[in-house]
Amino acid sequence: MSEPIEDSSRTGSVFKMASKDGHFHRQVSSFRDTVYPSNHPGPNPFPAAKDRYLLYITLNCPWAHRANILLHLKNLTSIIEPVILHWELGSEGWYFSGVDGSAAKDPLFGYTKAKELYLHANPEYNARYTVPFLWDRQTSTIVNNESSEIIRMLATAFDEFLPVADRESSKGKAGLLPSHLLPEINDFNSWVYDLINNGVYKTGFAATQTAYESHVFPLFEALDRVERHLHESKDSEPFLFGEHITEADVRLYTTLIRFDSAYFTMFKCNLRMVRDERYHPRLHRWLQNLYWNVPAFHDTTNFKHIKWGYAAATKQLVPAGPLPDVLPLEAN
């Protein structure tokens, strides 16, 4: 069993990404409570409520981007306050800067770093200060900092504050988590997470040649698998599971929209770009369609933050290309 990386900013190791075995091992999220609808039976310490919760994000992080897309897809920005931190990972983690769309300081306590919010919630916390995280004003703590769980909450927990037609229960087969597809979506999300979402990090932060090669080739095999999924499934048009956006689209998008601009260049995921239609014609069109035609995806994607953020994290120059960031649909 590999040794976990030590990643607390208290020990000055914010930028230490690989363990002694040369592999990147993602930290397990520490705050795992759940927001339920206010009428949820049984214990419900974090009931859904308007203006009670804040969502802390950066615009360069793909995990935070998932939550930001859900916030916009569900029209929840008037229910849950989004708070944007600076795109750069500082010596003590994410921080507020007041520039490039970042808040000048934390709106609750005037803090200048995410670290301070984590230690406010738990003075003994001694791990990485990650985004996104969902904060509860009433109990003055972090409810959850696991993106996959946060987006599930956003998909349904706050629906009582939305028009009936916009609620997940009203959408049936058009929902983000349609019951008839949920087992397939969960299975798809599982291998996409391991091989693609986290695969780019395991490739980019590998500290040995062996570790790098053990992840880069499975990453591209997984991209080929998604291409086959889009080709073989008659229902996978124009989205991953048919004519409606599902959670699977959100989770894959936030990695692939960064692929050509950041992971190909700075993470050495460089066998080929997503836009190379000799290999990924359907996958590329899927990505273009979400970016150009769905405002919740397009409007939450900030390529300046993406490029500058990854360059800072990897101590590299900001890549000029590829240009354009996303090819126009007319290119097809």
103: buried, middle or exposed (CB in 10 Å: 19+, 13-18, 0-12)? middle
Distance in angstroms (rounded) separating the CA atoms of residues 313 and 315: 6
Active site residue 61: yes
79 is written with which tokens?
Answer: 């229910």
Reduce the DSSP state of residue 141 to 3 states and report it: strand
Cα distance from N-terminal residue to C-terminal residue, the chain: 47
Sign of the CA dihedral running 197, 57, 80, 145: positive
For the range 236-241, what are the long-range contacts, defined as Cβ-Cβ under 8 Å and sequence gap of 24 or more? 238/285, 238/286, 238/289, 239/286, 239/289, 239/290, 240/188, 240/286, 241/181, 241/184, 241/185, 241/188
Closest CA to 262 of 216, 214, 218, 305: 305
Candidate list 61, 64, 76, 240, residue with the active-site label: 61
Closest CA to 182 of 145, 159, 156, 160: 156
Closest CA to 307 of 272, 276, 265: 265
For residue 113, list its beta bridge partners: 95
Catalytic residues, by residue number, are: 61
